[in-house]
Amino acid sequence: MPRPFQLVDVFGQGDFTGNPLAVVADAEGLDSETMQRITRWMNLSETAFLLTPTPAGAAAGADYRVRIFTLERELPFAGHPTLGSCHAWLTLGGRPREADTVIQECGAGLVPVRRRGDGGGLAFAAPPLIRSGPVDEADLAVAIEVLRISRSRIVDAQWVDNGPGWMAIMLASAEAVLALDPAPSHPHHVDIGVVGPHAPGGDAAFEIRALFSNQHRAIIEDPVTGSLNASVAQWLFASGRVQSGYVAAQGTRLGRTGRVSIDRDESGQVWVGGTTRTLFTGTG
């Protein structure tokens, strides 16, 4: 049966400057194996499949359900697929129960997504961390091997896992982050986020890089990563390093101009936002 298909650019400042997401709508009838094969054929960091909510999800208020696949596995949650999936669902005629908030059901549960009032796309509510706390020296040694830096250059390290498995490494500056030349592969599976502050006065407060293993244990850099930005923001707020909203830059070393807007509301909820654009559509 024909299924609508979109390629959505997420977090970019213009066309082809963010992180691409393939979204397959009306995905009922596709099993997990088929979704994984489609994802590997697309060869993007993630492909998302739109479905109707489960009965439990619908009862809890979900507007749609999404399954998110990387080239290696299914994820319970990921950030740029959340914004891209919501964008695709809305452009395909989805009508949320609430005027300004869409409720997504995914493997991590229900995730609210709201329209940003400044016309800057969508923002999702950062989900709770499923793993936090300091990184032990054995795991840190793996990160040091992947990043090819000395232990003394690491300012801080923390588990910030909200689904994909992120370990966050803080360096002294954005320049130090951009100068990294990671190893091309590593025998251990890794999901490493690196963050460093920019000097005051620029359009971004932090530089972010996301490095992960593919199914062949090659180290891949993700252009712009919503889940990592969400969990790093929670860490930065909790540690007192930031007290208000900010913008993070990502994808610079890949020739992208990703910008992720971070806000925190009166309740303490962190929101992760950015632009979303459909660049290609079709049926498959």
Q: Is it the case that residue 119 has pLDDT exceeding 70? A: no
Predicted pLDDT at 259:
98
Q: What is the 3-state secondary structure (H, E, C) of 242-279?
A: CCCCEEEEECHHHCCCEEEEEEECCCCCEEEEECEEEE
Sign of the Cα pseudo-torsion (17, 36, 210, 237, in order): positive
What's the chain's average pLDDT? Answer: 96
DSSP per residue over 89-158, as a string? HHHTT---SSSSEEEEEETTEEEEEEE-TTSS-EEEEPPPPSEEEEPPHHHHHHHHHHHT--GGG--EEE
Predicted pLDDT at 118:
65
Q: Is it the case that residue 96 has pLDDT exceeding 70? A: yes
What pLDDT, in 10s, does the model give residues 53-63? 999 999 999 99
Query: Is CATH 2.40.37.10 correct for 4-126+272-283?
Result: no
Q: Is it the case that residue 124 has pLDDT exceeding 70? A: yes
What pLDDT, in 10s, does the model give residues 145-183? 999 999 999 999 999 999 999 999 999 999 999 999 999
Joined tokens for residue 137:
């020296």
Q: Catalytic annotation on 46?
A: yes
Q: What is the band of 131 on the pLDDT scale with cuts at 50, 70, 90?
A: very high
Which burial class, exposed, middle or buried, applies to 62 when counting CB atoms under 10 A from its CB (0-12, 13-18, 19+)?
Answer: buried
State the average pLDDT over residues 226-253: 97
What is the percent of the chain with per-residue pLDDT over 90, rounded to a whole number?
93
Alpha-carbon distance 231 to 234, whole Å?
A: 5
Q: Which listed residue (28, 46, 145, 266) is catalytic?
A: 46
Q: Are strands 191-197 and 219-222 parallel, antiparallel or unpaired?
A: unpaired
What would be the CATH architecture of the domain defined by 131-268?
Answer: Roll (3.10)
What is the percent of the chain with per-residue pLDDT over 70, rounded to a whole number?
99
State the average pLDDT over residues 50-71: 97
Q: Is it the case that residue 214 has pLDDT exceeding 70? A: yes
Q: Is it the case that residue 120 has pLDDT exceeding 80? A: no
Q: What is the band of 209 on the pLDDT scale with cuts at 50, 70, 90?
A: very high
CB neighbours of 183 closer than 8 A, spacing ≥ 6? Answer: 145, 146, 147, 148, 219
Q: Is it the case that residue 234 has pLDDT exceeding 90? A: yes
Which amino acid is located at 241 in the chain?
R
Query: Any idea where the domains of the chain sit in the sequence?
Result: 4-126+272-283, 131-268
Specify the DSSP class assigned to residue 200: T
Phi, psi (rounded to 5 degrees) for 24: -105, 120
- Same-fold call for 4-126+272-283 versus 131-268: yes
State the average pLDDT over residues 19-37: 98
